[in-house]
Structure 1
Amino acid sequence: MATVHFLYRSVRSKAKLEVRLQHTHKTFENITNYIWTAKTQIEVTENFWTKQRKVKSKGNIDISNEQTRVNNLCNALDNFILECFNTTTPEAITKNWLQTQIDHYYSPPIEKLLEIIPVNLIDYFDYYIKHKENRPTDVLIRKIIVVRRKLERLEKYRKKQILIKDINKQFKNEFQNYCDNEKYSRLTTQRDFAEIKTICLDARSKGIETSLELDKLSFKREKATNIYLTIDELQKIENIEKSKLADYLENARDWLLISCFTAQRISDFMRFTADMIRIEDGQNFIEFTQVKTDKIMTVPLHPKVIEILSKRNGNFPKAISSQKYNDYIKLVCEIAELTQEVYGSKLTETAPESGIFRKETKMFRKCDLASSHIGRRSFATNFYTKIPTTLLKNITGHTTEAMLLNYLGKSNKDLAKETHKYF
């Protein structure tokens, strides 16, 4: 694991930043920590770096522009250094190695300048992951790879290479027909095509030819079926008699309640530990970094979460795999008698023992639709209008109120009805 930091280490009022690379090298015998520094071409003033770099600009366009410029330069070099580090053996990393990489960054060798940018779509997916300005998260990489593999299957089926310039209305229809035949849900097809369009727009920014129809390509948005647990249903889950729950189901039940009162994804809440809790002015908070967004979060702990921790001597339940969690909470909801038929989607096998699963949308028992995401949606839905959206989005981690409202599926008509309550 390596980290990159930028430093202002000059007595002059304006100077070029230094970069510091820290990494740990583990061997069978010991663990060694290394720190290397080198010079960059990023020039800033001492006043900006020490006083203005992290402050809110408050309408000062000059400071805002400088923050954007420096952040972009630092992020791009940061990504480049880490990319070089990840393709180099630890023994080769030295101060001279670091300075050489930075020099190559600003003045690429001839062979780098001649690197060919792919014009076929599938190969460009790999190029996109490698060269994206902001290093993609593991979650985004997995998402991209899923779409890439689907395109590989389509290319094999059509027996013709998919070129970036050919992503037009005709291809959109072809992609839709292929996904329909493969029994993918329309929502999945819509999301995958949006990813394809993003990749093509990136290719256009690199000078690759794209279709004149690309900008206007889109699918009619299909609403997702939003299944959540109401406050009354959460109370039923909480009140399940202890004798009806085996230890592993009680463990899963407590995680389910925690997720419904913290609004976090399973990749985050299943990592919760007692040492992440901070108490300030008698109030309990949990601090962590979201896996998907890399965003630092501070979430207030609801009294229901405090109750669960209290009965467990201040500890969170035992962590389990996402697969087991999804299986167990279905059983928990069934024991809580949440068996009413509701309209929703779940993965079902296309044919017995086929091993191929697709989302099917129809009436199911509510307990059978419970999955790891139900907690996040339950919190957002149950506390919408009870907590101002400006505060609610800070708990869910949505960047804007518009994103939160879209997540909740709120239309202009829904918002108008909510506003009417204040007249």
Structure 2
Amino acid sequence: MTEAIPFLIDKRKDKTSIQFIVRIKGQRLRFVPGITIETKYWIDNVRWCKENKQYPEGYLNNIQIKKYKEIIENVIAEFQSNLILPTQQSFKDAIVKRIDEINMLEGGVISDEKQKEIDVQQKLQLFIPFAESYKESSDKSISTKKGYQTTINKLKEYESHIGVNLKFEDIDISFYNKLKQYLINKDHSKNYIGGLFKNIILFMGEAKAQGLCKFEKPRGFTVEREDGDSISLSIEEIKKIHDVVFTEDLVKKHFPDLRPQNMSRKLKSLNIERDRFIIGYCTALRISDYSRVNDYDLDDGLISIWTRKKDKKVYVPMHYYLKDIIARYGGLTLPKISSQKHNEQLKDICKIAGINDPVKKTITKGGVRIEEVKEKYNLVSSHTARRSGATNMYRNGIDLLYISRLLGHSKIEQTVKYLKITTKELAISLKDNPYFSGKKVISDMSVLLEGEKKKK
């Protein structure tokens, strides 16, 4: 084994440092461990310190020299076993690394370089910084990113509550149960809590894909949801909304506190947002998609558009309600408005149109099932247009497979759950199916799909 020999750096001084010299294949490698001794107590021919009453430090110095000598010689042996001729820098780095390993094992002080490396690794293991980075780099829609930020903000709040910075290794079933109870105590709804855990699972999956953790979703780590305020409007209710004529007298009747100077703007807004809702209903697209429809997407009675969320091109036959809208606006592009203001106007529109049937809704909030009755117009939102459009398509015999593709669903079961259709309605729609009726019927959709297969 190649020997590491200790030398004094400067014998002329009363106190000097020890250096180890290793010679290997013409290379002179040097390491200074930071051991200082009194020169007069150094025994040069044995490379050792005297151990006596006059110099009690000699005993400790010799133990340190022995340990450093062993470490250095083991490092050199490892280089040689791997057929590596080390440079001065790689020699020094390997020794420092070995010493850091000993200190980390025993809880000692490590080198600045090692501490920086550990700090970087620890930061990479922090959950929230990763989630923030993922959100910023994601190409998801603005609304999806808002959902990510809501989750991040709530987790920051939870971190402050428990006094701990969450790491990937902390995201387990115990974390799930504690966070869930914390959110229940804050009176959050089941859907709100489910949305947070859905994003947490997404973030952990992305971290796993990047090799930052080995997350496996534990049993019980579920995304709970319930059918909250989502509703569907019938064809008759949609017709009421489409046909209502907004006049000053009608608006005053429902909103007596509206200032006269705001009447003109209110009437214009009601008409535009009613038309926007009808576009959403007739296309069953998300508002983020049908807001982008322009003249170039209208061709031969079809509306075609690339959907943002699923990045797929869909085709929707032109509904007769849309022809009047296209004539008035020169297309389907309406003035921009925020989702919040659009939803506020929708409730006013539906109130004026008489969409006021009482609706009983049950929701879990703060772990308690709450039942309340609301007038239907209070539950209408931009998404009601999409759900109502898809539901009424199905009620009017449009193929479920087409509706599923239009909605961007990967499974038919997802579409059935999405549609506001009762089990009885599903059974009625299937009674003429050849399986039940014994008649051989080939739907136009089946012929079309078969034609597509042959083209491929």
- Please tell me the TM-score bracket, short chain as reference: 0.5 to 0.7
8 Å Cα contact 2:304-2:315 kept in structure 1: yes
Structure 1 pair 270–177 and aligned structure 2 pair: CA distance change class (3 A): same
Residues 1:122 and 2:128 aligned together: yes
Which secondary structure does the structure 1 equivalent of 2:359 belong to?
strand
Structure 1 pair 412–214 and aligned structure 2 pair: CA distance change class (3 A): farther
Q: Distance in 2 between matches of 1:154 and 1:335?
A: 43
TM-score (norm: length of structure 1): 0.61
Structure 1 pair 136–307 and aligned structure 2 pair: CA distance change class (3 A): closer
* Paired position in structure 2 for 1:96: none
Among residues 305, 321, 330, which one is paired with 2:338 in the alignment? 321
Structure 1 pair 118–340 and aligned structure 2 pair: CA distance change class (3 A): same
Which secondary structure does the structure 2 equivalent of 1:156 belong to?
helix
Structure 1 pair 238–149 and aligned structure 2 pair: CA distance change class (3 A): same
* Paired position in structure 2 for 1:17: none
Which secondary structure does the structure 2 equivalent of 1:261 belong to?
helix
Identity of paired residues, percent? 26
Among residues 252, 258, 275, which one is paired with 1:254 in the alignment? 275
8 Å Cα contact 1:139-1:292 kept in structure 2: no
1:29-178 alignment, distance < 5 Å: 116=121, 118-129=124-135, 136-178=140-182
* Paired position in structure 1 for 2:232: 228
Could you tell me which amino acid in structure 2 is paired with residue 304 of structure 1? Y
What whole-Å deviation, never above 9, does each CA across 1:208-230 have from its counterpart, x for those lacking one? Answer: 45576625421444334431211
* Paired position in structure 1 for 2:326: 309
Residues 1:342 and 2:362 aligned together: no
Instruction: Give the structure with the higher percent helix.
Output: 2
Which secondary structure does the structure 2 equivalent of 1:298 belong to?
strand
Q: Distance in 2 between matches of 1:329 and 1:338?
A: 11
Could you tell me which amino acid in structure 2 is paired with residue 325 of structure 1? H
8 Å Cα contact 2:193-2:224 kept in structure 1: no
Structure 1 pair 382–155 and aligned structure 2 pair: CA distance change class (3 A): same
8 Å Cα contact 1:339-1:365 kept in structure 2: yes
What whole-Å deviation, never above 9, does each CA across 1:340-372 have from its counterpart, x for those lacking one? Answer: 2213489x9x9xxxxxxxxx8732111111111
* Paired position in structure 2 for 1:81: none
Q: Distance in 2 between matches of 1:412 and 1:335?
A: 32
Structure 1 pair 206–215 and aligned structure 2 pair: CA distance change class (3 A): farther
Could you tell me which amino acid in structure 2 is paired with residue 404 of structure 1? T
Cα RMSD (Å): 3.4
Q: Distance in 2 between matches of 1:207 and 1:317?
A: 45
* Paired position in structure 2 for 1:273: 294
> Mind listing any 5+ residue stretches in structure 2 that lack a counterpart?
1-118, 252-266, 437-456
8 Å Cα contact 2:355-2:377 kept in structure 1: yes
Q: Give 1:415 deviation, angstroms.
A: 5.1
Q: Distance in 2 between matches of 1:253 and 1:411?
A: 28
Could you tell me which amino acid in structure 2 is paired with residue 382 of structure 1? N
Residues 1:401 and 2:412 aligned together: yes
8 Å Cα contact 1:167-1:210 kept in structure 2: no
Which secondary structure does the structure 2 equivalent of 1:272 belong to?
coil
Q: Give 1:137 deviation, angstroms.
A: 4.7
Which secondary structure does the structure 1 equivalent of 2:302 belong to?
strand
Q: Give 1:333 deviation, angstroms.
A: 0.5
Structure 1 pair 208–274 and aligned structure 2 pair: CA distance change class (3 A): closer
Could you tell me which amino acid in structure 2 is paired with residue 247 of structure 1? K
Residues 1:264 and 2:268 aligned together: no
Give the aligned length: 295
Q: Give 1:285 deviation, angstroms.
A: 1.8
Residues 1:297 and 2:314 aligned together: yes
Q: Give 1:398 deviation, angstroms.
A: 2.7
8 Å Cα contact 1:393-1:401 kept in structure 2: yes
Could you tell me which amino acid in structure 1 is paired with residue 380 of structure 2? A
Structure ID, larger Rg: 2
8 Å Cα contact 1:190-1:219 kept in structure 2: yes
Q: Give 1:146 deviation, angstroms.
A: 1.9
Structure 1 pair 411–163 and aligned structure 2 pair: CA distance change class (3 A): farther
> Mind listing any 5+ residue stretches in structure 1 that lack a counterpart?
1-113, 351-359
Which secondary structure does the structure 2 equivalent of 1:362 belong to?
strand
Q: Distance in 2 between matches of 1:176 and 1:345?
A: 20
1:165-204 alignment, distance < 5 Å: 165-204=169-208
